[in-house]
């Protein structure tokens, strides 16, 4: 959402009541509370729908898109991040133009608790695991928390001995 605003889009954020103020503070021009209203029934057509949590039923997607509009979700394979992408994001964060939303921070010892919390499906933003630089797989852990339990299982199996 923050990137869309930076690129000049008019943005509607969809979230539950508890997150309305947060989403507004991140720059949404309009906020729709999904516990009260289905945004696809508003009659508004969007050029891009980014369904971060892949919750919009298939039949509802097209009726909220413009003729050339595009539906995207974090579940789709929408390309890999490049080093340039990450440097770009880092620079935006350093310039204060991108505000990371950190919900909770857990230590390595609390990794099980962290996964349990993420698995509730109601975290607000990101959950961070802090690991000391002497622990090898810190990059893997950051990727792992927040991905689906199925993906995690496969990943852990392949990478941990
Ligand atoms: N985080 C990662 O590193 C990562 C990496 C790759 C892929 N993914 C995938 O990306 C997707 C999103 O992951 P995530 O990390 O953002 O966390 P998530 O746990 O899937 O999403 C949690 C958030 O979704 C909101 N939400 C739930 N139902 C909603 C609805 N119908 N409409 C709008 N918001 C709704 C929740 O808000 P309420 O509590 O208010 O309902 C909560 O803020 C997942 O499918 C995940 O597998 C994540």
For 29-58, the pLDDT digits (tens) are 999 999 999 999 999 999 999 999 889 998
- Domain hosting residue 68, numbered range: 2-73
Q: Rounded CA gap, 78 and 137, in Å?
A: 25
Residues 16, 69: one domain? Answer: yes
Q: Rounded CA gap, 60 and 82, in Å?
A: 32
Closest of 111, 113, 101 to residue 142, by C-alpha: 111
Q: Collapse the DSSP code of 137 into the 3-class scheme (helix H, G, I; strand E, B; otherwise coil) and give the result.
A: coil
Q: Which of 56, 73, 90 is the last residue of a domain?
A: 73
In this model, does residue 102 exceed pLDDT 70? Answer: yes
The pLDDT of residue 141 is 52
Q: Rounded CA gap, 28 and 13, in Å?
A: 6
Q: Is 16 in the pocket of ligand 1 (CB under 6 A)?
A: yes
Number of independent structural domains in the chain: 2
Residues 120, 58: one domain? Answer: no
Is residue 83 assigned to a domain?
A: no
Most trustworthy range by pLDDT among 17-26, 53-62, 135-144: 17-26
In this model, does residue 85 exceed pLDDT 60? Answer: yes
The pLDDT of residue 158 is 44
Q: Rounded CA gap, 11 and 27, in Å?
A: 8
CATH of the domain at 58: 3.40.50.720
Measured from the Cα of 122, ligand 1's closest atom is: 39
Is residue 80 assigned to a domain?
A: no
Is residue 147 assigned to a domain?
A: yes
Residue carrying the six token digits 């995690």 = 152
Q: What is the pTM of this model?
A: 0.81
Is residue 122 assigned to a domain?
A: yes
Distances from the Cα of 51 to the Cαs of 14, 15, 46, 55, 73, in angstroms?
9, 11, 12, 7, 5
Q: Is 54 in the pocket of ligand 1 (CB under 6 A)?
A: yes
Is residue 82 assigned to a domain?
A: no
In this model, does residue 16 exceed pLDDT 60? Answer: yes
Give just the sign of the alpha carbon dihedral 128, 129, 134, 138.
negative
Q: Is 57 in the pocket of ligand 1 (CB under 6 A)?
A: no
Q: Is 50 in the pocket of ligand 1 (CB under 6 A)?
A: no
Q: Collapse the DSSP code of 52 into the 3-class scheme (helix H, G, I; strand E, B; otherwise coil) and give the result.
A: coil
Nearest CA to ligand 1 atom 36: 122
Among 121, 127, 141, 151, which residue has the most ligand 1 atoms within 8 Å of its CB, making it the best to mutate?
121
For 140-160, the pLDDT digits (tens) are 555 555 556 665 555 444 444
């Amino acid at each position: 959402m923050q990137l869309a605003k930076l690129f000049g889009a008019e943005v509607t954020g969809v979230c539950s009541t508890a997150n309305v103020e947060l989403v507004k503070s991140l720059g949404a021009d309009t906020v729709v509370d999904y516990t009260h209203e289905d945004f696809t029934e508003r009659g508004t057509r969007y050029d891009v729908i980014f369904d971060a949590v892949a919750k919009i039923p298939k039949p509802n997607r097209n009726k909220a898109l413009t003729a050339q509009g595009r539906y995207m979700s974090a579940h789709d394979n929408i390309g890999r991040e490049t080093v340039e992408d990450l440097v770009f994001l880092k620079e935006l964060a350093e310039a204060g133009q991108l505000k990371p939303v950190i919900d909770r921070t857990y230590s390595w010892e609390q990794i099980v608790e962290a996964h349990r919390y993420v698995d509730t499906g109601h975290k607000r933003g990101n959950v961070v695991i802090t690991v000391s630089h002497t622990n090898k797989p810190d990059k893997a852990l950051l990727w792992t928390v927040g991905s689906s339990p199925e993906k995690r299982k496969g990943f852990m199996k392949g990478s941990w001995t």
